[in-house]
Structure 1
Amino acid sequence: MPMPMPVVALLVLDGVPGNQLTTPGLVFDAAAGVHPPARTELRVCSVRPAVATAGPLPLDITAPWGTDGLEGAGTVVLAGHDGFLAAPPPGVLDAVRAAAARGSRVAAVGTGTFTLAASGLLDGHRATTEWCRTAELAARHPRVAVDPAGALVTDGPFLTSAGLFGGIDLFLHLIGLDHGPQVAARTARQLIDPLYEDMGATREEIDRELADTAGLEPTMRWLETHPHDSPTLAEMAAHARTSVRSLNRRFRERTGLTPRQYLLRARLERARRLLAAGDGTIEEIAARTGFGSPASFRHHFRRLTGTTPRAYRASHGSRGR
């Protein structure tokens, strides 16, 4: 007898980033593509029929479901939105609390963690949000154990994501929970690995052309796609065509992190993908992601994720080593 299709309800509010609307469908479609039985029903829900996406070019989107779409969903995901510091619209918190009471997993992407925290459900639990907002989350919700370095934090039935790439890490994790780690690893390779394989010189050329007009974006992408490199602050500043002092200030304003901390997160993200894909030994991954030594890799991985590389591979990877 076939297993019932998992249902994920994405709760969106005005000012939702466009990529947080499209990423779930992208991940779930990719999972069904690599393994047809791994299908997921995605419900886009809101308190109003029409939702406006975030700027700079806001679009009006029709949400097929109201908050009733949360009923029967095994997972409820709160997307980020522009008004995350204000009180959520009436009905949102009650719907989220009711879903948790029914036993649903409840997740949040980026600033959606502020909405989830406002429900009180995160009190006494670990959580994360956009890295530049973690201090604000901790100040507003002191009963939440905010992880300032976490990209994806799971604590009981609650999952929160920093929102990288629209929360792709969160939705890949849900694929792993609902369809198994092998399907999640194959989906990750389908979505992510070709980007890293195809960037090469072409991406570097584009970055150089955009450096004068795109702020930190080219340098951030450079660090993300070359985590094995160990550039000095002077080299990072030269890539961004600015001074070291300005580089540090702009990185903190943009990400809440120093350039070196951002590079460390990029190394961690690449290492997580390699571990999930079973691509190399722990020692090889440490070298390929720029951690220098297996001991340094294990130290930073445990500090930033709360687990060891080997344990992470066992729970997320397509095969153990």
Structure 2
Amino acid sequence: MCEDRAMPVFRHPGRHRVAVLVRHGLLPLELGIPHRLMGRAKTEDGTLLYEVVTCSAEPGPVRTDADFTVNVDHGPEALDDADTVIVPAAHEADEPFAEGVLSRPLADALARIRPGTRVASICTGAYVLAAAGFLDGRRATTHWASCARFQALFPKVSVDPDVLYVADGNVLTSAGVASGIDLCLHMVREDYGTAVANSVARRTVVPPHRDGGQAQFIERPVPVAGIHSTGTARAWALENLGQPLTLRALAERESMSVRTFTRRFREEVGVSPQQWLTRQRVERTRQLLEETDLPVDRIAADAGFGSAASLRAHFQAALGVSPSAYRRTFRTGRDTETVAA
């Protein structure tokens, strides 16, 4: 233990410290997601915002589900000082967990996480968090194919099988593999704002926010033949968020009846048109709060909420903070970090 303190794992004071805890059976793609997204997040002058390290309960070679191993230098001491701990999936080790049953080295490693540390999982990494008790009494998700078994094993967890990720306080879970990208972008957005998250997304060539949930990726028992896209209506809506967009107006962009449009929209996007519109208006509000000094009344009009009261209600419901608190954190805070770096 003294050696750990003599040679600290994290070597860049001031950066947000992320420890990625891996196990045998690791999915290499999931290991790369935090390193590529959070590890490359930076200020406008190029200063990196996160330090990301890989660790395991017992350092050394870690088997992957591919034809190579990953040599992990850091042991559980990396968890001592982490601000965020991310647990990717491991095909060899996840689903056999019964509630509360972890190997002694893994249980000891998880016990080193400080109270208040943000903890997240990718895909069936949620089994580890649940078995360790992090998810008791919380809402969570995992890969859609594992949700039923997961709920049966961990009845204290409220499993949502229809979302890409869940943020319940400082504990976050994501669905299958690529949803780890959505989760990491969400954490970057919460830590440093929309502009930084969008910059990371652009460099990685992924959307900054995916619409819908896991339902759109579940195999349908009967394929839907000749389905028409609602993409034209969505693109038009994004260009006209400030207007009073009705369901009928959206349906007319696709030459569909309201009923058909509503059904096909949900099939393609995973949520209703109204839920999608509200989400886009919240994202537009975030952008304007971060990048402009416009008053809330003007932002409400530009984003399509109509009134400042409506904007505040929807923004508070979506993010848990007021528009003014959000602006203080991500506009003033971002400018201060950029100048100081």
TM-score under structure 2 normalisation?
A: 0.59
**Identical pairs, percent:** 27
Q: Work out whether residues 121 and 129 of structure 2, in 8 Å CA contact, stay in contact via their aligned partners in 1.
A: yes
**Corresponding residue for 2:20?**
9
Q: Work out whether residues 10 and 79 of structure 1, in 8 Å CA contact, stay in contact via their aligned partners in 2.
A: yes
Question: Aligned to 1:297, which of 307, 311, 332?
Answer: 311
Question: Aligned to 1:190, which of 199, 207, 225?
Answer: 199
Name the amino acid aligned to 1:30: A
Question: Aligned to 2:188, which of 169, 172, 193?
Answer: 172
**1:315 to 2:329 alignment:** yes
Aligned-residue CA RMSD (Å): 5.1
The verdict on how the C-alpha distance between 1:166 and 1:92 changes in structure 2, with shifts beyond 3 A counting, is: farther
How far apart are the structure 2 equivalents of 1:10 and 1:225? Answer: 42
The verdict on how the C-alpha distance between 1:291 and 1:116 changes in structure 2, with shifts beyond 3 A counting, is: farther
How far apart are the structure 2 equivalents of 1:255 and 1:94? Answer: 42
How far apart are the structure 2 equivalents of 1:120 and 1:22? Answer: 25
Give ranges in structure 1 of 5+ residues lacking alignment.
53-59, 196-211
**Corresponding residue for 1:206?**
none
Shift of 1:297: 0.7
Shift of 1:170: 2.9
**1:106 to 2:116 alignment:** no
Question: Aligned to 1:72, which of 52, 55, 78?
Answer: 78
Shift of 1:261: 0.9
Shift of 1:77: 1.7
Q: Work out whether residues 62 and 70 of structure 2, in 8 Å CA contact, stay in contact via their aligned partners in 1.
A: yes
How far apart are the structure 2 equivalents of 1:223 and 1:71? Answer: 49
**Corresponding residue for 2:171?**
158
The verdict on how the C-alpha distance between 1:241 and 1:62 changes in structure 2, with shifts beyond 3 A counting, is: farther
SS, match of residue 196 in structure 2: helix
How far apart are the structure 2 equivalents of 1:272 and 1:61? Answer: 42
1:97-135 alpha-carbon deviations (Å, 9 max, x no partner): 84354214312357765663454312234x4558x99x9
The verdict on how the C-alpha distance between 1:152 and 1:91 changes in structure 2, with shifts beyond 3 A counting, is: closer
**Corresponding residue for 1:43?**
54
Instruction: Give the stretch that moved more between structures: 298-307 or 224-233.
Output: 224-233
Q: Work out whether residues 24 and 168 of structure 1, in 8 Å CA contact, stay in contact via their aligned partners in 2.
A: no
SS, match of residue 153 in structure 1: strand
Structure 2 counterparts to residues 260-279 of structure 1, below 5 A: 260-277=274-291
**Corresponding residue for 1:122?**
135
How far apart are the structure 2 equivalents of 1:96 and 1:231? Answer: 52
Shift of 1:295: 0.5
How far apart are the structure 2 equivalents of 1:92 and 1:317? Answer: 45
Shift of 1:40: 1.5
How far apart are the structure 2 equivalents of 1:137 and 1:50? Answer: 23
Q: Work out whether residues 15 and 82 of structure 1, in 8 Å CA contact, stay in contact via their aligned partners in 2.
A: yes
Question: Aligned to 1:30, which of 35, 41, 46?
Answer: 41
Larger Rg over CA atoms: 2
Q: Work out whether residues 88 and 121 of structure 2, in 8 Å CA contact, stay in contact via their aligned partners in 1.
A: yes
**1:249 to 2:255 alignment:** no
Give ranges in structure 2 of 5+ residues lacking alignment.
1-10, 205-225, 335-341
How far apart are the structure 2 equivalents of 1:97 and 1:61? Answer: 27
How far apart are the structure 1 equivalents of 2:197 and 2:267? Answer: 30
Q: Work out whether residues 17 and 80 of structure 1, in 8 Å CA contact, stay in contact via their aligned partners in 2.
A: no
Instruction: Give the stretch that moved more between structures: 280-289 or 216-225.
Output: 216-225
Shift of 1:172: 0.9
How far apart are the structure 1 equivalents of 2:180 and 2:237? Answer: 14
